[in-house]
């Protein structure tokens, strides 16, 4: 194993574990044995990361030979990363003690936020019932609030009363997370409709891609309170011509790309990466044809003009009636990895009840129509940059 390092070692471990899960053999024991014999923490981390990746979406997998001894050693050590990886793997292997330690960590307000976030993720993946009691308290911690909000949609039977109670005081990103979470289950969507009727949530707080999902889920029950989705403008060429002409105005020439970076981060960065920053739901824009203004405008004004298969909207409904929408990041015989607005969702294929691919993009139309000229000019100026611009000085 001395010739394997870093990413290569992770890929090797992942391939071996994925094959072991599908074939039902104990070749994972080889990885455990190698990790036990190695004195190099980096090698151990890579092996465990590869094992975790290979076991994504799995629950109650029989522990490989030697795991109990390796886990005890790692948990007793002082390497934080190895302890976290051992906890996550232990839960997949049905180790009750690992689950209890993860719950204790999650409930400890003095613990490192990243470690608590990892504990929450692993507990949710294993559908641990102990998470339910901790979520309301996590809403009081800003660094974990969005993670806690999204967790409400992953626990069957958990209502949204606490989310709606705190909604008016949440920041913009937190409100968006609440709306997106309420759209993941039909029972929660019913509470969303009630919140709109009570004017707790404004229809304008609901992004178009979420409205599409809710319309498909609830039909007229949703559109009655939200209104019909705006009909697509049949003459996109005229709109593109209009905005292109605006970009010849003096205000566009003098636009500040630093301000454009702020606008981009708010409107586009949730889904798109550019200069190694941003989300994973849509295409990476760094290498796209951004110097061409018509190319930029076509993709903003008419995002459904030519949607590559890899970026078409995929809707998954699980056997626990959770609804997830996004684009396919990875897929194999055991799982589907969905890139969503909230990040990466791993769904075991055995838990999928329905799957639908829609011939549309998740990118909303009409974005430019709600934007003032200053923001529009600055956004286009930033999108046409050839290297990352500095953030504006506060």
Same domain? For 22 and 115 the reply is yes
Last residue of a domain, one of 131, 159, 180: 131
Please report the pLDDT score of residue 7 as a whole number.
Answer: 59
Residue 2 has pLDDT above 60, yes or no: no
Q: How confident is the model at residue 193 (pLDDT cuts 50, 70, 90)?
A: very high
Using pLDDT thresholds of 50, 70 and 90, give the confidence band for residue 216. confident
Among 13-17, 119-123, 202-206, whose mean pLDDT is lowest? Answer: 13-17
> Do 74 and 198 belong to one domain?
no
Percentage of residues of the chain with pLDDT beyond 90: 37
Q: Are 323 and 338 spatial neighbours (Cβ–Cβ below 8 Å)?
A: no
Report pLDDT for 3: 44
Name the domain boundary from 203, 226, 249.
Answer: 226
Residue where a domain terminates, one of 101, 131, 161: 131
Q: Count of alpha carbons within 13 Å of 365, Cβ hemisphere only?
A: 18
Beta bridge partners of 322: 185
Predicted confidence (pLDDT) per residue in 222-263, tens digit: 989 987 765 445 578 888 999 999 999 999 999 999 999 999
Q: In this structure, are residues 257 and 385 in contact, taking their beta carbons and an 8 Å threshold?
A: yes
Pair 17, 78 in one domain: yes
Judgement on whether residues 296 and 315 belong to the same structural domain of the protein: no
Q: CA–CA distance from 316 to each of 250, 257, 289, 323 (Å)?
A: 47, 38, 32, 6
Q: Same structural domain for residues 65 and 104?
A: yes
Whether 232 is covered by a domain: the verdict is: no
Mean pLDDT score, 299-326: 87
Q: Are 40 and 74 in a shared domain?
A: yes
Domain assignment present for residue 1? The answer is no
Instruction: Report the distance separating Cα 8 and Cα 138, nearest Å.
Output: 37
Most trustworthy range by pLDDT among 89-98, 300-309, 359-368: 89-98
* Tokens at 15, concatenated: 């391939």
Give the pLDDT score at 294: 87
Name which residue leads in pLDDT, 147 or 321: 147
Residue 346 has pLDDT above 80, yes or no: yes
Segment 134-157, tens digit of pLDDT: 898 999 999 999 999 999 998 888
Instruction: Report residue 1's pLDDT band, with 50, 70 and 90 as the boundaries.
Output: very low
Query: Are residues 73 and 155 both part of a single domain?
Result: no
pLDDT reported for residue 14: 56
DSSP states of 5-47 as a string? -HHHHHHHHHHHHHHHHHHT--THHHHHHHHHH---HHHHHHH
Position 394 scores a pLDDT of 62
| H/E segment holding residue 107 | helix 96-107
What is the pLDDT at residue 47? 87
Q: How is residue 177 written in tokens?
A: 């997370």
Instruction: Please report whether residue 63 resides in a domain.
Output: yes
What CATH number is given to the structural domain containing 347?
2.30.30.100
Query: Domains in the chain: how many in total?
Result: 4
DSSP 335: E
Show the 3-state SS of 191-231. HHHHHHHCCCCCHHHCCHHHHHHHHHHHCHHHHHHHCCCCC
Torsion of CA 245, 249, 251, 252, to 10 degrees: 50
Confidence of residue 393 (pLDDT cuts 50, 70, 90): confident
Is residue 14 situated within a structural domain?
yes
Statement to judge: residues 89 and 70 lie in one domain: yes
Residue 6 confidence class, pLDDT cut points 50, 70, 90: low
394 in any annotated domain: no
Q: Are residues 77 and 59 in the same domain?
A: yes
Give the chain's length: 394
Which pLDDT tens digit goes with each residue over 53-82?
888 888 888 888 899 999 999 999 999 899
Q: Which of 106-115, 138-147, 272-281 shows the lowest mean pLDDT across its residues?
A: 272-281
Q: String of b and e for 301-313 (b: at least 16 CB within 10 Å)?
A: bbbeeebeeebbb
Residues 62 and 126 in one domain: yes
Its domain, for residue 331, covers 309-357
Smallest Cα–Cα separation from 54: which of 29, 80, 22, 25?
22
Do 206 and 281 fall within a single domain? no
Here the tokens at position 209 are 């891609």
Task: Report the mean per-residue pLDDT for the chain.
Answer: 86
Token digits of residue 236 = 């996109």
**Structural domain contains residue 393:** no
Query: Is position 204 within any domain?
Result: yes
Q: Quick one: 184 and 61 in the same domain? A: no
Is residue 84 in some structural domain? yes
């Amino acid at each position: 194993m001395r010739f394997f390092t870093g990413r290569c070692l992770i890929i090797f471990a992942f391939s071996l574990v994925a094959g072991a899960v599908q074939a039902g053999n104990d070749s994972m024991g080889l990885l455990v044995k190698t990790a036990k014999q190695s004195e190099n923490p980096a090698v151990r981390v890579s092996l465990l990361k590869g094992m975790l990746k290979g076991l994504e979406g799995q629950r109650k997998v029989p522990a490989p030979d030697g795991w109990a001894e390796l886990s005890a050693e790692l948990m007793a050590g002082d390497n934080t990363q190895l302890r976290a990886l051992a906890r996550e793997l232990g839960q997949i292997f049905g180790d009750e003690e690992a689950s209890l330690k993860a719950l204790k960590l999650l409930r400890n307000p003095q613990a490192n936020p990243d470690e608590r976030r990892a504990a929450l993720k692993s507990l949710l993946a294993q559908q641990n019932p102990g998470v339910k009691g901790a979520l309301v308290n996590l809403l009081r911690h800003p660094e974990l609030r969005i993670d806690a909000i999204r967790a409400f949609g992953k626990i069957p039977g958990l209502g949204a009363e606490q989310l709606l109670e705190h909604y008016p005081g949440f920041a913009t990103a937190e409100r968006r997370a609440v709306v997106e979470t309420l759209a993941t289950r039909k029972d929660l969507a019913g509470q969303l409709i009630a919140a709109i009727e009570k004017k707790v949530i404004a229809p304008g707080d609901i992004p178009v891609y979420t409205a599409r999902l809710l319309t498909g889920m609830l039909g007229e029950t949703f559109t009655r309170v939200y209104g019909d989705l705006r009909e697509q403008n049949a003459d996109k060429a005229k709109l593109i011509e209009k905005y292109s002409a605006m970009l010849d105005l003096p205000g566009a020439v003098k636009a500040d790309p630093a301000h454009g970076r702020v606008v981009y981060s708010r409107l586009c960065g949730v889904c798109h990466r550019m200069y190694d920053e941003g989300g994973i739901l849509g295409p990476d824009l760094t290498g796209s044809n951004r110097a061409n203004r018509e190319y930029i405008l076509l993709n903003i004004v008419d995002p459904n003009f030519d949607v590559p298969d890899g970026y078409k909207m995929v809707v998954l409904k699980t056997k626990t009636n959770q609804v997830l929408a996004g684009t396919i990041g990875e897929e194999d015989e055991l799982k589907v990895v969905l890139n969503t607005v909230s990040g990466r969702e791993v769904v075991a294929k055995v838990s999928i009840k329905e799957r639908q691919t829609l011939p549309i993009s998740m990118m909303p139309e009409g974005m430019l129509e709600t934007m003032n000229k200053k923001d529009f000019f600055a956004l286009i100026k930033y999108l046409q940059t050839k290297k990352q611009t500095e953030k504006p000085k506060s």
